[in-house]
Chains A and B, each alone.
Chain A
Amino acid sequence: KNQVEQSPQSLIILEGKNCTLQCNYTVSPFSNLRWYKQDTGRGPVSLTIMTFSENTKSNGRYTATLDADTKQSSLHITASQLSDSASYICVVSDYTGNTPLVFGKGTRLSVIA
């Protein structure tokens, strides 16, 4: 069964610190991997999307990495801000099309002052 596992389940860090979130997947064949940020009470918002040939992609203070051989991805957040507090969801597609996507359960990040 195609699965996406994320760790840690939750994380608390001090403002200004860096953190790294992990995503392991068993989805095959692999098409692309996305990281979404979901604020409480809102829909997910796309941060990055990477295909098989991409190892890293940045979006401001967010940097995602992908190792398609080991089926692992990470999302690194630099110089965290209070507004980074949210759930970060890893999503993997096994088609070049749009459906279905396999969602991880997310990592709940809390940034505190």
Chain B
Amino acid sequence: GAGVSQSPRYKVAKRGQDVALRCDPISGHVSLFWYQQALGQGPEFLTYFQNEAQLDKSGLPSDRFFAERPEGSVSTLKIQRTQQEDSAVYLCASLRGSEETQYFGPGTRLLVL
């Protein structure tokens, strides 16, 4: 594909609802990152995969957040029992093994009512 894609682009959820956000990285990119970006803020690191291995999940704000990349390509970020403070843009980025440039997707804008 031409770039990193994410779906859905927009998601409105009722408080307490579970949501799943999808990221399709650039084909062949080994590393995949999830970030959370609040309005007017820079992205905050959530978690990082190298192939299917989740090497760093230190940024996940609570145990309601779960990410997986079972086959080393597509990744899903799941948020259980969403809260209003989860409202943000969730960005996915991928990177080929030896390159330093992360390529970002357009993000999923999540609004929890």
Contacts and interface: CB of A to CB of B under 8 A. Distances in A.
B44 to A, nearest CB: 7
Interface in B15-73: 31, 33, 35, 40-45, 48, 55-56, 58-59
Interface residues of B, number: 27
Contacts of A99: 31, 33, 45, 48, 55-56
Contacts, number: 60
**Main DSSP-derived SS at the A contact region:** strand
A49 interface: yes
A105 B37 CA distance: 10
B77 interface: no
B102 to A, nearest CB: 7
Contacts of A43: 4, 91, 93, 104-107
Interface of A: 4, 32, 34, 36, 41-46, 49, 89, 91, 98-101, 103-106, 108
